[in-house]
Amino acid sequence: MTKRNNPDKHSSYNGHLVAYACNDKQSIGRRFNETHPTYRNEYQRDRDRIIHSAAFRRLEYKTQVFVNHEGDLFRTRLTHSLEVAQIARSISRELGLHEDVTEAIALAHDLGHTPFGHAGQTALNNCMKDFGGFEHNIQSLRVVDKLEQKYADFDGLNLTFETREGILKHCAINNAKKLGDIGLRFLDKTYPSLEAQLTDYSDEIAYNNHDIDDGIRYGLITMDSLLKIELFREQYDIVNKRYTGLDDKKLIHEIIRRMINVMVIDLIDTSRKNIAKANLKSIYEVRNQKQPLMAFSDSMTEKKLELKQFLRKELYQHYRVHRMTKKAADVIDALFNAFIDDLKILPTEALEHCNILKDKHSDKGLARGISDYIAGMTDRYAIVEYERIFNPRQLSFVNLIP
């Protein structure tokens, strides 16, 4: 029988929150006051609202790197978000931080992404350049603050400040000025909670590693080329020493799981030292530090940079990825221009949304309404919508039914 490890030997987590964690009982609060939930804390309520949102369900059909329908095994925004939540919760728990708010931030962090990943976001940003631009982080906040329409008492999901603070990872200064309390830290150059900081790192750990896995599966990168990368080679050597004759599928998994593990351990160890040095007494002190306390060691930062540069060159800029993203960008561009030229082709609900925003903010509002409609589309919905509008073979009424 396998000898079981003593869990206490491997984790310093004792079930208590540290004094500088997000605390659901001392939350800065929600935009609209509500009674406290029963049998759940405030951050669990946030997480539950996110999981039950339409935007969360749409993540299943949105591209991470590879367009959604290209293969059933590739990561989608949904599976990516679940992987981020898994990594973030482990780190949060180990550091005595609030696991529930961490999970809520992780599950919501990509809600504002357009269809077709970064190509879609760049295309939509170009379309919106005269109307305030498009940033997926701000769009994620817009989804949870305004666009989800299901509660009787308020627009959006009415999440706590701490979850919203974590969702808004980056923000241009001009946009931050319009966002009230949640945008202040970009003007003051202060930092968010440790839960928000670590979720941002977990996002990076997740995509750097799963993009290797997807890239190999798609045949765009090879094991041989990856052996030039120190982070990969170190784990390859360890696995190869321990096992002989592993098939490629098991070999790559054994390497990637170890890569995730060493990055997580490095992040925890380095951040723990930073936190100890800062001698924190409250979350207010976390927010007012001169630099973020969550960090990789210098050597891991270097290795991670090498990996990111590799992925940029070999994967994200591969001609086959470019061909796909070019088409995707063309779809977004064509849809935006078709809608702005002729509002009458917008579905009723989208048109109503655009008209409400137009009444408030004229042309800028109108364009924002169209951008909301397009950003909310899944990959396949955007393609179908494009077909409906531009393919003359789809002139029959049946094909026009949404």
Q: C-beta of 118: minimal distance to Mg ion in Å?
A: 11
**Please, which of residues 129-158 interact with Mg ion by CB under 5 A?**
none
**Please, which of residues 284-323 interact with Mg ion by CB under 5 A?**
none
Contact 88, 142 (CB under 8 A): no
Handedness of CA 19, 22, 23, 29 (dihedral sign): positive
User: By C-beta, is 110 or 165 nearer to Mg ion?
Assistant: 110
By CB under 5 A, residue 110 contacts Mg ion:
yes
Interface stretch with Mg ion, choices 178-186, 203-211, 306-314, 393-401 (CB under 5 A): 203-211
User: By C-beta, is 201 or 218 nearer to Mg ion?
Assistant: 201
Contact 173, 186 (CB under 8 A): yes
Query: CA dihedral defined by 150, 153, 157, 158, rounded to 10 degrees?
Result: 180
Quick one: how far is CA 284 from the chain centroid?
A: 25
Buried b (16+ CB within 10 A) or exposed e, 201-212: bbbbbbbbbbbb
The footprint of Mg ion on this chain (CB under 5 A) covers a number of residues equal to 2
3-state secondary structure of 214: helix
Give percent helix, percent strand, percent coil of the chain, each to the nearest 5: 65, 0, 30
User: By C-beta, is 85 or 370 nearer to Mg ion?
Assistant: 85
User: By C-beta, is 110 or 214 nearer to Mg ion?
Assistant: 110
Interface stretch with Mg ion, choices 130-138, 201-209, 243-251, 289-297 (CB under 5 A): 201-209
Amino acid sitting at position 356: I
Interface stretch with Mg ion, choices 29-37, 199-207, 211-219, 346-354 (CB under 5 A): 199-207
Q: C-beta of 183: minimal distance to Mg ion in Å?
A: 21
By CB under 5 A, residue 83 contacts Mg ion:
no
User: By C-beta, is 109 or 368 nearer to Mg ion?
Assistant: 109
Handedness of CA 351, 352, 358, 359 (dihedral sign): positive
User: By C-beta, is 110 or 211 nearer to Mg ion?
Assistant: 110
Among 203, 211, 214, 254, binds Mg ion (CB under 5 A): 203
Interface stretch with Mg ion, choices 14-22, 155-163, 195-203, 240-248 (CB under 5 A): 195-203
Q: C-beta of 81: minimal distance to Mg ion in Å?
A: 7
3-state secondary structure of 109: coil
Q: C-beta of 204: minimal distance to Mg ion in Å?
A: 8
Query: CA dihedral defined by 332, 337, 342, 346, rounded to 10 degrees?
Result: 20
Q: C-beta of 326: minimal distance to Mg ion in Å?
A: 22
Q: C-beta of 121: minimal distance to Mg ion in Å?
A: 12
The residue at minimum Cβ distance from Mg ion is 203
3-state secondary structure of 37: coil
By CB under 5 A, residue 372 contacts Mg ion:
no
> What is the distance between the alpha carbons of residues 313 and 376, in angstroms, rounded to a whole number?
29
User: By C-beta, is 214 or 254 nearer to Mg ion?
Assistant: 214
Contacts of 65 (CB under 8 A, 6+ apart): 74, 75, 117, 211, 214, 215, 315, 316, 321
Long-range contacts of 33-38 (CB under 8 A, 24+ apart): 34/153, 34/158
User: By C-beta, is 296 or 336 nearer to Mg ion?
Assistant: 296
Contact residues for Mg ion (CB under 5 A)?
A: 110, 203
